[in-house]
Structure 1
Amino acid sequence: MKNTIDNCQVLDIPKIADHRGNLAVIEGDTLPFDFKRVYYLYDVPSDAHRGGHAHKEQQEFLIAVSGSFEVILDDGINKKTVTLNKPNKGLLIPTGIWRELGNFSSGAICVVFSSDVFLESDYIREYSEFEKFYR
């Protein structure tokens, strides 16, 4: 079954509130998949775009740990834009969803939890290939 943008969802990250500052925790079943890679984007110019691909098998979970940015989600039929701007909320992107990240605020940091290690063969980097792959 093909995923749609409706399968993308913003999830709460458990937070421990304290007068000294909050602590967010990702462990156990916080994510609906086991992650094998964590990476982050930073110093992204406000007019730059990241992403521009889909994954055949990998799932990802994106968090704006600082600042904000927008994620344009596309399932080949419908599109929607999600703004991430809270470090205790993240966006779950299942397989087969095209994503583009943009409109980064100054100092924005995007942390990504991925369900697998980097595999170039898992990426669909051309939108025309994405359209063919998911028809």
Structure 2
Amino acid sequence: METTSRQNTTSRVSDIQQIEIPKIKDSRGNLAVIEKDCIPFTIKRVYYLYDVPSDAFRGGHAHKTLYQFLIPLSGSFEVRLKDSDGEQLITMNKPDKGLLIVPGIWREIENFSSGSVCLVLASEEFDEADYIRDYEDFVSFKGL
């Protein structure tokens, strides 16, 4: 299922998926592979968060059209997701499990453990116009 680039005002926290990343187990170490249909979009941007202080948080925004896939490469962190149905907190701590965040969901990433690294695969290149950075604007965008 390839994603489309249209604004999503109907998405819900229940649309968020944790996806197991295929892995090859080996006595020398495991290899995780993201290809083909592992995630439902073509990757157009890759970035990662690291050296985030444990009392800081990242995110604090929503996207109108962008899909993201978050992977905890090292350590752990929590992802707080919000919409009209409420709030969900997901702990990410396994490098072979990613979190697919659909457009139209408010997200905050917090409680980073020491040495944690969060890899983000995105469906689009950076576009400031796609961000909703104010929570009240998000509420208005969703029609809540």
TM-score with structure 1 setting the length:
0.98
Question: Which structure 1 segments of 5+ residues have no match?
Answer: none
The answer on 1:100 being equivalent to 2:100 is no
Q: Name which of 123, 134, 139 aligns with 1:131.
A: 139
Q: Give the C-alpha shift of residue 75 in structure 1.
A: 1.2
The answer on 1:23 being equivalent to 2:27 is no
| Residue number in structure 2 paired with 1:51 | 59
Q: Give the C-alpha shift of residue 76 in structure 1.
A: 3.2
Q: Give the C-alpha shift of residue 39 in structure 1.
A: 0.4
Distance in 2 of aligned mates of 1:2 and 1:59? 14
One-letter code of the match for 1:94? V
Count of residues in correspondence between the two structures: 135
Q: Give the C-alpha shift of residue 35 in structure 1.
A: 1.2
Q: Can you list the C-alpha shifts for 1:74-112, whole angstroms capped at 9, x where unaligned?
A: 013310000000000000000000000000000000000
One-letter code of the match for 2:106? W
| Residue number in structure 2 paired with 1:2 | 10
Distance in 1 of aligned mates of 2:14 and 2:43? 22
One-letter code of the match for 1:62? L
TM-score with structure 2 setting the length:
0.92
Question: Which structure 2 segments of 5+ residues have no match?
Answer: 1-8
Correspondences of 1:111-122 after superposition (within 5 Å): 111-122=119-130
Distance in 2 of aligned mates of 1:111 and 1:76? 27
Q: Give the C-alpha shift of residue 127 in structure 1.
A: 0.2
Distance in 2 of aligned mates of 1:51 and 1:76? 18
CA RMSD of aligned residues (A): 0.8
Give identity over the alignment, percent: 59
Q: Give the C-alpha shift of residue 68 in structure 1.
A: 0.1
